[in-house]
Amino acid sequence: MKNIVSVRTLKIHWEKPDRKDSEQQLKAWYQEVKNAEWKNPNDVKSKYKSSSIIGDNRIVFNICGIKYRLVIKINYATQWIFIRFVGTHKEYDKIDVTTI
């Protein structure tokens, strides 16, 4: 992916005292995705089998097992990723993943 927008969102998440356990996994996810060349949702699913394809090019990833959720939106043509949300399952349940 050429660019990942709102990486700061990841850092804000892992800097919270009760979420430090997500730092290494989010950093690893970032490095893997930075080097990815996804052309469609199937490419994502082949690498991240537990990810959920939501529609409108949104994908949900499980972080630290199922402790946290990461929502991104991908523009496959330009190879840009937009980080839309990262938080606990409880926080995730309060958002509309199709519009965030």
Domains of the chain: residue spans and CATH: 3-92 (3.30.2310.20)
* Distance of alpha carbon 11 from alpha carbon 57, whole angstroms: 23
What pLDDT is stored for residue 49 in this prediction?
94
Q: Are the CB atoms for 59 and 52 separated by under 8 Å?
A: yes
What pLDDT is stored for residue 39 in this prediction?
95
The long-range contacts involving 29-33, CB below 8 angstroms and separated by at least 24 positions, are 29/61, 29/63, 29/70, 30/4, 33/1, 33/4, 33/81
What pLDDT is stored for residue 43 in this prediction?
95
What pLDDT is stored for residue 16 in this prediction?
96
* Distance of alpha carbon 19 from alpha carbon 82, whole angstroms: 21
pTM: 0.94
Q: Are the CB atoms for 28 and 36 separated by under 8 Å?
A: no
Cross-strand partners of 46 = none
| Parts of the chain with a pLDDT under 70 | none
